[in-house]
A and B are shown apart, each in its own frame.
Chain A
């Protein structure tokens, strides 16, 4: 409700003034002071709840001792960036960064490239098997990791791809590719069909229309699909912790767990690493979050 309320307010006030004792009549979209306060109250509370666990993690990461999370009051007096220095210099942080980036970017590139044409085909063309394909794309969203993880493990170990970046990328593609196709269909649906018609009238083949006209227009959609598969691959835990065995090849999701072993829990280092991972990812996320939802729900509502 973003329309201005001024025009509707004036006549309402006159009517009210003529019939009843002078009383403030509210226009559309305006609320009483109490309702406004209540809204602010609820939103502030919700914001605090949303913010607190993350802020707490940041705060704990400044405490030098590994048990500081149990008596946080003591951190105030001895705040230090030592944890960060240690994580960056003396752990496998950069190895993990490298693995995470290789795996996530690999998944993103393959996912988007392979999925783009399909997204276009399902958006524009009706062919026998169309419904089945849409159904398959939806069903792949439902695969619990338990269905694929055992067979994948066996297949990959036969191919010697366990503890191998490429193996993990392949595994992630099984979810990323259908997902990107789904997202991209939603985005292509928002590009007017007249553009395709114009291209066809000018003598382009469907492929030509797709590559020369639609792909350049769909750049934001491609970015969203790419970002989504990046995030999904980046945050995946189960496959990564099963298929990556050597600690220099861990992704962050696995590496972070390695701070807590049975004997020793270096929670301060864990907190620092978590913050180092979370900040760039969240920053990036904020740039695209609005588009994410459009892409995601558009695909579903029209499917």
Chain B
């Protein structure tokens, strides 16, 4: 009944093309996931800091941004970008740019909340102590608050990275050839969905699970410290 030969015969296409993006189609799950995580987090830092700004002119738009993107499905955001970018820029946009833009904009809302919670978890006394030794606001943020906040953020950051990593499978909806799309392509020819989808499930699982183990190890270490 099961025939995992289909996986072995197409292993190179699935992994080299789908996962790494080194085949004729370009694409690739990792080629999308890694930049999306890095850029999403960077934008998230700004969103999180803006959420804590004293001026409502900065704080309220940031709050609206977060509430908006946390209230709509990622698939919807991908369709928006897919449709609206070519209209705004007046030319066709490759799936990669569409997907990356959607992920960065969407995930920055979630990363922003993590950054905000991380900064708020630093005791007020730390800020007061920094002020009393004569540090400016920016110096306090840079040398006292952010280093401690980052440490507190690590567990939820990793969780969000895992979510983002899994979500990159949704880029296959607009035709981006990642691991999921590669499995679909092979399945269209071989019609062995059970084996193929189980196989990519395991590949996704290995990445996500290792990340979560790493996070747990780190958590224990900072708790012990």
A and B from one complex:
no
B: residues with CB less than 8 A from A are none
